[in-house]
Structure 1
């Protein structure tokens, strides 16, 4: 069984269409079909059902897909490990982060990391589907919120952070030192749409308290969300760090007491992927950055509470 046959096979698995898979591979459709027939002949089992224009995996195809994916990943891991023998802390890291963290929190880390390790290429993608993209090998590592566990993923805790009520400085609530969760029922809100992890996290806490949020406006962009708050349309519920990392924001951040929502940040990566030295270097920098960031936030919040 040749490796190229497995690459061809997995391309058809992904597309479930021979012509599209051939275009993706850069070969002709008849050549791809012939190579798949060679693989089927070697295994003496059909791998695809071809029903009209539709293509579907057979039971044998589904079984081979699981093993082929691991074999191809092992091949990539071996090449990556050997490449590192020739490098001096070089390489490429594909990192997935939540849009708000990329816009307002992690940029200082990215700047410092490049200054310290200019030979490492860092590709950063804002996404709300980080876990799936790590599973699909589109990302090497991801920074996301606590979600459903997957046996293929390694998870590392990066810290716990409370959500605050964020409003314009001239809002009637701006003078409050703290507020109850129930007050969210009686003030206009702008929020992320419901399918966003952060929105669902806040909604779950509100539901447990006996009410649901009814925002007057929703947007999937962190930048747009805060612009709407600045314009006076309403307040929002977001991690405190969102405002702390903004200069001259014109916004106030009010702690929510008792049943406050909070988020747990996770670092995730596939357990069967080779983690390069460059990636380990970035992870070490990330841990220190978030540890210092969360400590600064806690000290600031404790100082504010003491002053009140």
Structure 2
């Protein structure tokens, strides 16, 4: 049994189609079929049920898929670990982060990390599918909303963030020290479009009180929303920590009381993933960043 054969096998499992798998591997379909047949002969059991042009993984195939996937992942982790010894912290660190306000606030992290590891390429991927990207090995680390515990993941709580109403600093509302959730129903709001994580959290908060929020404008960019607020077009709702990060004198954030919208943030990565020194330092920088925000709400 060769690693190449296992890689071929896993690709067929993912595609469930020999021709598509062969195209993806860059080999001919007969070559792929012959290699899978060699594997089946060695194990003395079929790995796929062939039903016309369709295939289905057998129980034996499912077992081999589980163990071979782990084997290849361990091999990749070993290669990464050895490469880290051979070169001075090079390579790529892939980070999935919630789009808009969260990735918008993390510029200082990217800068600090680059100063510590100038040879490591950071790949920042804004996405709402944080867990999926981590599970599929498309990213090394994810930063997003806290989810239910999963034994396949290391989940590090980063803290909770309450939401506030963002208004122009020269508006009469800016004199308020707090505002009730129900009052927001009467205001011209500029929020994320339906489907955005931040919008769902707010919609759920209003719906729990039997209310439905109406917006005057939907806008998927935090930066654009805040420009519109400063221009006096309307008001927006964001985590209070966003204003702390911006230090913008033209904006005021009024805490929302009586059923305050709150979100919990966590950092996550696969339990079976090798974490390089660069990745470990990145995690430390993130934890420190959020701890400092908690001290200065």
Tell whether the structures are fold-level matches, with TM greater than 0.5: yes
Report the equivalent of 1:304. Answer: none
SS at match of 2:6: helix
Alpha carbons of structure 1 residues 128 and 27: separation in structure 2 relative to 1, 3 Å:
same
Report the equivalent of 1:206. Answer: 206
Q: CA deviation at 1:138?
A: 0.4
Q: Judge conservation of contact 2:185–2:213 (CA < 8 Å) in 1.
A: yes
Alpha carbons of structure 1 residues 67 and 231: separation in structure 2 relative to 1, 3 Å:
farther
Cα deviation, 1:153-182, whole Å, max 9, x if unaligned, reads 110011211111123445553332210111
Q: Tell me how far apart the structure 2 counterparts of residues 246 and 207 of structure 1 sit (CA, whole Å).
A: 30
Aligned residues: 297
Cα deviation, 1:50-93, whole Å, max 9, x if unaligned, reads 44444433333333222222111111122222222323444421
Deviates more, 1:49-58 or 1:259-268: 49-58
Alpha carbons of structure 1 residues 237 and 92: separation in structure 2 relative to 1, 3 Å:
same
Report the equivalent of 2:256. Answer: 256
The TM-score, its normalising length taken from structure 1, stands at 0.86
Alpha carbons of structure 1 residues 61 and 170: separation in structure 2 relative to 1, 3 Å:
farther
Q: Tell me how far apart the structure 1 counterparts of residues 242 and 89 of structure 2 sit (CA, whole Å).
A: 32
Alpha carbons of structure 1 residues 74 and 173: separation in structure 2 relative to 1, 3 Å:
same
Alpha carbons of structure 1 residues 52 and 170: separation in structure 2 relative to 1, 3 Å:
farther
Report the equivalent of 1:164. Answer: 164
Q: CA deviation at 1:142?
A: 0.8
Q: Tell me how far apart the structure 2 counterparts of residues 225 and 33 of structure 1 sit (CA, whole Å).
A: 55
Q: CA deviation at 1:5?
A: 1.4
Q: Tell me how far apart the structure 1 counterparts of residues 159 and 241 of structure 2 sit (CA, whole Å).
A: 12
The TM-score, its normalising length taken from structure 2, stands at 0.89
Q: CA deviation at 1:247?
A: 5.8
Q: CA deviation at 1:196?
A: 2.8
Report the equivalent of 1:306. Answer: none
SS at match of 1:77: helix
Q: Judge conservation of contact 2:169–2:249 (CA < 8 Å) in 1.
A: no
Structure 1 residues 1-308: aligned runs within 5 Å:
1-101=1-101, 103-169=103-169, 171=171, 173-230=173-230, 232-246=232-246, 248=248, 250-296=250-296, 298=297
SS at match of 2:150: coil
Structure 2: gaps (5+ residues)? none
Alpha carbons of structure 1 residues 179 and 282: separation in structure 2 relative to 1, 3 Å:
same
- RMSD of the alignment, in Å? 2.4
Q: Judge conservation of contact 1:153–1:269 (CA < 8 Å) in 2.
A: yes
Q: Tell me how far apart the structure 2 counterparts of residues 233 and 59 of structure 1 sit (CA, whole Å).
A: 60
Q: CA deviation at 1:248?
A: 4.5
Report the equivalent of 1:303. Answer: none
Q: Tell me how far apart the structure 2 counterparts of residues 47 and 285 of structure 1 sit (CA, whole Å).
A: 46
Q: Tell me how far apart the structure 1 counterparts of residues 231 and 82 of structure 2 sit (CA, whole Å).
A: 54
Q: Tell me how far apart the structure 2 counterparts of residues 168 and 52 of structure 1 sit (CA, whole Å).
A: 66
Deviates more, 1:37-46 or 1:52-61: 52-61
Cα deviation, 1:190-218, whole Å, max 9, x if unaligned, reads 32234333222223332333323233433
Q: CA deviation at 1:27?
A: 1.9
SS at match of 1:195: coil
SS at match of 2:100: helix
Alpha carbons of structure 1 residues 8 and 236: separation in structure 2 relative to 1, 3 Å:
same
SS at match of 2:174: coil
